[in-house]
Structures are given as structure tokens and as C-alpha cells.
């Protein structure tokens, strides 16, 4: 069941206190941010209640794998979308179709059974995102969001802009954490052979599942068909022979992508491309003069107070704004932090609630085939 939302003033007290000292910084930028979509932000009239509409308009899904004409001022990408499930759908199948990860679908839809969602259940697609705080000159990996952004410069009529490619990832499980830091791509390999490290072979041997010293290219190779070696020793960005593990913490520290995503990334990435791996569960960014707050469940080993982290991130965002004084909706901030759905919400909009924002999601077609055989089996804790 969905956790009940406490809308009392007391529920917002911790964030209200934390935000009180930011009053002098409450300014909006009329020029900060850039909507990437031709349509404006949707209204906040309920779209999924039959009493609130006469005609239901179901759109084609937006392509959220690639964003064009991104400028240095752009801080928020995409748009929140919603589909209606069929009885045979599963989160792993739907995640693959919409280029999402399993964990982010779970966080965005905490009340929905990932294996038996039921027919006609609204399922929110977390295809709206805030760009992490990192340089935009290569690859950004944000561990809590389990998402990789790849930036490339493009030249067009509007001048030099960025194209951003967005892909879900699998990362290292507890005890085999993916490291943070700045590194670069040092090697590209097609159809790699996997040489399991001694520590991985020892773990498998102890579990009664011994590994060979080398696994050749092919369907049993957990690296998939493409490998990018990083300057951090023993860490890779690679494909997988178990796509169901994308969007989960299942690897020995490497970063895995869907086969189609790593093939695309491999073709675009050059040697010495910078890679920035960050741990940012709380993100804030501007779009059309509104401040969006995005909060994810932190990694299990992360001990930060998310209320305090939200106040800090909001303060930083307000400090870089330009013009118009405004107020932060403290009750909404508290709700977004408490729910941790990984969905950006405009927290400078007075009177808005999370329920209002979800109800305004763009309704799109469910494109999952009846059975998606390519979704792969159980995730493999390798690579």
C-alpha cells in the first residue's frame, strides 16, 4: 500500500526550519533552464480521474534516450509520462521498452506490484530528470539514480549546443561498490573476453559455482559485446547477457547497460573521454523559472540526512538564480523528500502537491509487446 501522506504543518516542520535561513536567497531566474519539449508544462487538473475529463488523449511516448539542442542553461530534461499496464506486463519488460531501470520504476510506483501490476493500473515513467552537478564534457554516472548521461557537442542553426544521451545502468552491489571520482575511458573493446578477477573467482568458488580463468565472447559472457575500460583499475562500462539486472545493484562494481545502449555508447565515445561518477541522491534544477527537486532513495551505505541534503541543494540552486523573489513550498519539499520517488517536482509552485503533479503526467501508449523475450533472465552478479 502507498504510505499515507501527512499534509499537516507538523509534517513540513523539519524542512520549514531548514529552509527558513534561505529566505534571502529565494530568487527565481526568468531565463534559467530550457524546456526541451515543444509543448509547455501541463496543467494540474487530474487527468486520470473519469470525473475530471471527457476525452482521454493517449500520446505517443517521447524519446527520452536522446535530448537535442541542450544549452549550458538547461538543467532539467524530459517530461513525466504515465502508461496503463496490461495484466501480463512486468517491470523488467516495461523498463527495457522505455529505457528505464528496474529500481527507478519501483521507486516511482511504490504501490504497484512489479510482477503482477494488474490491468489498467497507472504506471509512472520517470522520464523527467535533473542533470547532476558535474562537468558536461563527457559521461556523468549518478549512482543513486542508476543513470548515465553522455554529452556530445553539436553545431546547428542555433549555434553550438549539446546533445545528451540518457541510459539506465546497473551498478556494484553492497561490498562491491562502484567507486566515485573523475576518470577517463582508456580502452574500447568489441566482443571482449572476460578475465574474472581473483576475488570474483574466489567468491564463485566458495558458492560452489567455479569460474574459468577466461570467458570467451558469446552468450555466456557477462560483459556482453562491448566494453569500455576506465582509468580506475579493474572497472568497466560494458553490456550484459542478463538485461534484467540493469537498474539494479548486482555487479562487482562495474557499470552495465542494456545491449542496445552500450552499442550506441560504444560508437560515440572516444578514448580519453572524461567519466564523472557521482553520488547525488538529491538534485535541484531550474526550468522555465521554476525550481525542480528530485529525490531518490540513497545507496544503502549512504548515511546522509536527506532533509539536510535537500536544504543544501536548494540553497545552492537558489544562489545561482537571477531575478524574481519567490517562496519555496516547504510542505511539498518535505513530501518529495519523504516519498523519494525519483520524480522531479517544481517546488516553487504554491499550493502544488505530489498527487497534483503525478495527475498531470503525459499519458502515453503502452508499447510493450505481449511477451518480451529479450528481457533476459535473472541478473548475474558479474562484471
**pLDDT tens, residue by residue, 285-307:** 999 999 999 999 999 999 999 99
Answer yes or no: do 321 and 333 share one domain. yes
- Of 228, 256, 279, the last residue of a domain is 279
What total of structural domains would you count in the chain?
Answer: 2
Q: Going residue by residue through the chain (383 aa), what tens digit of pLDDT does each one get?
A: 433 444 344 444 545 455 544 433 333 333 333 233 333 333 333 344 443 444 568 999 999 999 998 998 999 999 999 999 999 999 999 999 999 999 999 999 999 999 999 999 999 999 999 999 999 999 999 999 999 999 998 876 666 789 999 999 999 988 889 999 999 999 999 999 998 888 888 888 888 888 888 889 999 899 999 999 999 998 999 999 999 999 999 888 999 999 999 999 999 999 999 999 999 999 999 999 999 999 999 999 999 999 999 999 999 999 988 766 568 999 999 999 999 999 999 999 999 999 999 999 999 999 987 544 444 444 545 55
Q: 120 is written with which cell numbers?
A: 489498467
Answer yes or no: do 261 and 291 share one domain. no
Domain presence at residue 355 = yes
How far apart (Å, rounded) are the C-alpha atoms in residues 152 and 66? 11
Answer yes or no: do 156 and 111 share one domain. no
Answer yes or no: do 45 and 107 share one domain. yes
Q: 16 is written with which cell numbers?
A: 520549514
Domain presence at residue 72 = yes
Q: Annotated catalytic, 34?
A: no
How far apart (Å, rounded) are the C-alpha atoms in residues 327 and 67? 30
Q: Annotated catalytic, 165?
A: no
Answer yes or no: do 156 and 177 share one domain. yes
Task: Please report, for the domain that includes residue 166, its CATH number.
Answer: 2.40.440.10
- Of 249, 279, 309, the last residue of a domain is 279
Q: Indicate the pTM of the whole model.
A: 0.81
Q: Which residues contact 24 (CB under 8 A, 6 or more apart)?
A: none
Secondary structure element (H or E) that encloses residue 167, with its range: strand 159-168
pLDDT at 50: 40
Domain presence at residue 172 = yes
How far apart (Å, rounded) are the C-alpha atoms in residues 34 and 288? 6
Answer yes or no: do 156 and 169 share one domain. yes
Answer yes or no: do 144 and 274 share one domain. yes
Q: 59 is written with which cell numbers?
A: 500520446
Answer yes or no: do 150 and 257 share one domain. yes
Exactly one of 165, 167, 254, 296 is catalytic; name it: 254
Answer yes or no: do 144 and 268 share one domain. yes
Domain presence at residue 1 = no
- Of 259, 279, 299, the last residue of a domain is 279
Cβ atoms of 214 and 194 within 8 Å: the answer is yes
Exactly one of 167, 238, 252, 296 is catalytic; name it: 238
How far apart (Å, rounded) are the C-alpha atoms in residues 150 and 131? 11
Answer yes or no: do 268 and 290 share one domain. no
Domain presence at residue 375 = no
Answer yes or no: do 263 and 288 share one domain. no
Tell me which DSSP letter residue 173 carries.
Answer: P
Answer yes or no: do 195 and 207 share one domain. yes
Show the domain range for 305. Answer: 9-132+280-363
Amino acid at each position: 500500500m502507498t504510505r499515507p501522506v501527512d499534509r499537516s504543518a507538523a509534517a513540513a516542520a523539519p524542512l520549514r526550519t531548514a529552509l527558513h535561513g534561505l529566505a534571502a536567497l529565494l530568487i527565481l531566474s526568468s531565463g534559467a533552464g530550457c524546456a526541451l519539449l515543444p509543448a509547455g508544462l501541463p496543467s494540474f487538473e487530474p487527468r486520470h480521474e473519469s470525473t475530471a475529463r471527457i476525452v482521454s488523449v493517449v500520446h505517443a511516448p517521447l524519446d527520452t534516450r536522446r535530448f537535442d539542442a541542450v544549452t549550458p542553461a538547461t538543467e532539467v530534461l524530459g517530461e513525466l509520462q504515465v502508461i496503463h499496464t496490461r495484466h501480463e506486463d512486468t517491470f523488467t519488460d516495461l523498463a527495457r521498452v522505455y529505457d528505464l531501470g528496474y529500481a527507478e520504476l519501483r521507486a516511482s510506483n511504490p504501490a504497484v506490484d512489479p510482477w503482477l501490476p494488474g490491468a489498467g493500473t497507472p504506471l509512472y515513467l520517470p522520464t523527467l530528470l535533473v542533470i547532476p552537478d558535474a562537468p558536461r564534457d563527457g559521461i556523468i554516472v549518478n549512482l543513486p539514480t542508476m543513470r548515465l548521461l553522455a554529452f556530445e557537442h553539436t553545431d546547428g542553426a542555433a549555434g553550438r549546443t549539446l546533445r545528451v544521451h540518457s541510459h539506465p545502468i546497473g551498478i556494484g552491489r553492497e561490498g562491491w561498490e562502484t567507486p566515485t571520482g573523475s576518470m577517463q575511458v582508456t580502452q574500447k573493446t568489441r566482443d571482449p573476453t572476460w578475465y574474472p578477477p581473483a576475488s570474483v573467482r574466489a567468491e564463485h568458488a566458495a558458492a560452489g559455482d567455479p569460474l574459468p580463468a577466461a570467458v570467451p565472447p558469446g552468450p555466456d559472457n557477462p560483459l556482453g559485446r562491448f566494453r569500455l575500460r576506465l582509468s580506475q583499475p579493474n572497472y568497466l562500462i560494458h553490456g550484459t547477457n542478463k538485461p534484467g539486472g540493469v537498474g539494479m545493484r548486482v555487479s562487482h562494481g562495474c557499470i552495465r547497460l542494456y545491449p542496445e545502449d552500450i552499442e550506441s555508447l560504444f560508437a560515440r565515445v572516444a578514448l580519453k573521454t572524461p567519466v564523472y561518477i557521482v553520488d547525488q541522491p538529491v538534485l535541484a534544477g531550474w526550468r522555465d523559472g521554476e525550481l525542480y527537486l528530485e529525490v531518490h532513495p540513497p545507496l544503502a551505505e549512504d548515511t546522509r540526512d536527506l532533509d539536510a541534503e535537500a536544504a543544501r541543494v536548494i540553497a545552492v540552486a537558489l544562489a545561482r538564480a537571477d531575478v524574481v523573489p519567490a517562496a519555496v513550498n516547504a510542505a511539498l519539499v518535505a513530501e518529495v523528500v519523504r516519498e523519494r520517488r525519483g520524480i522531479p517536482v517544481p517546488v516553487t509552485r504554491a499550493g502544488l502537491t505530489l498527487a497534483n503533479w503525478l495527475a498531470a503526467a503525459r499519458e502515453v501508449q503502452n508499447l510493450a509487446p505481449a511477451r518480451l523475450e529479450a528481457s533476459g533472465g535473472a541478473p548475474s552478479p558479474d562484471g
